[in-house]
Structure 1
Amino acid sequence: MTESDERLELFATPRDWLRYAIGRFRAEGLAFGHGATTALDEAVYLILEGLGLPIDTLDPFLDARLLHSERRRLETLIEARVTTRKPAAYLVNRAYIQGVPFYVDERVIVPRSFIGELLVTALSEDNALTGDPGEVLRVLDLCAGGGSLAILAARVFPNAAIDAVDLSGDALAVAKRNVEEHKLVERVRLLQGDLFRPVAGERYDLILTNPPYVDAKALAAFPPEYSAEPRLAHAGGDDGLDVVRRILADAPDHLTPAGVLICEIGRGRDLVLRDYPGLPFVWLDTEESTGEVFLLRASDFAVRKHRPKRSV
């Protein structure tokens, strides 16, 4: 009997496979951060998705006796996570933001933007940031990837037409699948091109963007899990802010008079504050982030005071 056969015989319940997966993941030194931050969370995610169970409920099933085919499925997923070092979401072709499911594969970054949480919580009701959700009529998702933020925006802003722009045709193919699965084809328009070029002359009540913002040094040190994602979705230039600067330069021309820009920048806050001393950034924190997402209003860009301060 092989070692695999012994596992399939002995590991009869999800609890058994959970222990095994956690041990394997820790022993192999896997990196996390694609929806799960620990070996435990990653193992739970793979088991629930692998068995087709509700993504937020494991306890009632921990001691259920699994079919042989279910045990084989879990073994395959756990071994694939260890040997390929791909994020778990790629292995099951599924990722979640605030409980909302999205199809994902290697053509797109695994969706995990902090803006997703903000959409579902802070922006989903009448608020001082974006006003009444029903009065938001046009939304732009810039650097849309697989379309998760565009889809969440369509759910939060019921009267809004959404444009989703990305440079990658592969990413937009994934976004098309997600838009169709969420039955939003009539409300979400997918456009391929470089930042604002596909929407020249258009203005929006809300621009959402999670652009590439990883600096060159950090990009070179990526573990395999992050290197498995499209490089284009991460690479932000030497200091990580090349794309962010371009967005800040052109956003005023694409906001309505009361429009709002919300942008995720990772750990670039100090650089942004240094380079744009004239902009009154509002920082939007989430449960897992502080100072990684900013908000600016159209009026904040008055008299082009957003021009970057020259670095010496």
Structure 2
Amino acid sequence: MSVSLFNEARQSLHTVRDVLRFAISRFHEAGLVFGHGSTNAHDEAAYLILHSLHLPLDQLEPFLDARLTPGELQSVLHLLYRRVDERVPAAYLTREAWLGEYRFYVDERVIVPRSFIAELLREQLAPWVNEPEEVVSALDMCTGSGCLAILLAEAFPNAEVDAVDLSPDALAVAEHNVSDYDLGERINLMCSDLFSNLPEKQYDLIISNPPYVNAESVAELPQEYLHEPELALGSGDDGLDATRKIIAEASRFLIPGGVLVVEIGHNRDVLEGDYPELPFTWLDTASGDQFVFLLTREELVEAGY
């Protein structure tokens, strides 16, 4: 977005409706890529405008014809300018991301939260976890911002949760979020390269949303995704290096009857080809049944893991 267009907008735009139309036009013109909380130009523009104006994020319609003060317009246009000119994901501009009704602080030290596992936790992993109140120990591997660890603690109120990440920077963000939800007494943040620094301990439940983008896809990522930590995106040539290590070691850290749940993106065919001996259960989500697998401790042990 040129500086001249930015200055022209400050003189010509007056209402929320004006700014919304302007933003959608600029987003389309710039060919922005979405996927960090919204899927299209309209929703992302509405979110940025409402956030900047400190308005409820689910109530655009009542405010469409409200006139903006010069200061408000300047603030909104500044966000839109950065979104277009720098291709910064909206979540980094607003310092927040949402998973359902849960808000999390985020910045460039962590990947923007987006996980199919979050959807599954809302149902307490039913029917695979029969008695949620009996889950007393859970592990979130590759916790990043701590969002899934927090959802784990919310879904299983009797559980103590260990949240593990290799990045101290990510753990600092997770600490912020754990504090926001007042869960410091139930969530333990731990710095470890997967299982390498964990104490010998067994869990009822292990979940993980590890890096899983293959090298070819990493090389072709749109500019928006390059703002995220590379460590949190790619995992070897086929994207499954971290997942293989998790499969290899998980049984040692699960109680009898314990469950492992891992998100792997679009890598189902490759994973099943590499592990024909494992009876993966693919969990249904709103986007399909190929993104998250479940294995029990017994299935892992029987297959030699």
TM-score by length of 2: 0.95
Partner of 1:154: 153
SS in 1 for 2:258: strand
Work out whether 1:94 is the aligned partner of 2:96: yes
Classify 1:230/1:289 alpha carbon distance in 2 versus 1 (closer, same or farther; 3 Å): farther
SS in 2 for 1:150: helix
Partner of 1:29: 31
Q: Which moved more, 1:256-265 or 1:52-61?
A: 52-61
Question: In structure 2, what residue type is equivalent to 1:123?
Answer: Q
Listed one character per residue, the Cα deviations across residues 185-206 of structure 1 (whole Å, up to 9, x for unaligned) are 1111100010012323111111
SS in 1 for 2:34: coil
Distance 1:286 1:167 in 2: 28
Distance 1:67 1:286 in 2: 43
Distance 1:48 1:137 in 2: 40
Question: In structure 1, what residue type is equivalent to 2:161?
Answer: I
Q: Is the 8 A contact 1:211 1:265 kept in 2?
A: yes
Partner of 2:282: 283
How many angstroms does 1:6 deviate by? 4.0
Structure 1 runs (4+) deviating above 6 angstroms are none
Distance 2:71 2:19 in 1: 14
Q: Which moved more, 1:225-234 or 1:57-66?
A: 57-66
SS in 2 for 1:197: coil
Partner of 1:69: 71
Question: In structure 1, what residue type is equivalent to 2:79?
Answer: L
- What pairs up with 1:111-150 in 2 under 5 angstroms? 111-120=113-122, 122-123=123-124, 127-150=126-149
How many angstroms does 1:3 deviate by? 4.7
Partner of 2:20: 18
Partner of 2:235: 236
The alignment yields a C-alpha RMSD, in angstroms, of: 1.4
How many angstroms does 1:30 deviate by? 0.9
Classify 1:233/1:3 alpha carbon distance in 2 versus 1 (closer, same or farther; 3 Å): closer
Distance 1:201 1:36 in 2: 40
How many angstroms does 1:273 deviate by? 0.8
TM-score by length of 1: 0.93
Question: In structure 1, what residue type is equivalent to 2:24?
Answer: I
Q: Is the 8 A contact 2:277 2:303 kept in 1?
A: no
Partner of 2:301: 302
How many angstroms does 1:49 deviate by? 1.6
How many angstroms does 1:5 deviate by? 4.6
Question: In structure 1, what residue type is equivalent to 2:23?
Answer: A
SS in 1 for 2:103: strand
How many angstroms does 1:99 deviate by? 2.0
Partner of 1:41: 43
SS in 2 for 1:22: helix
SS in 1 for 2:197: helix
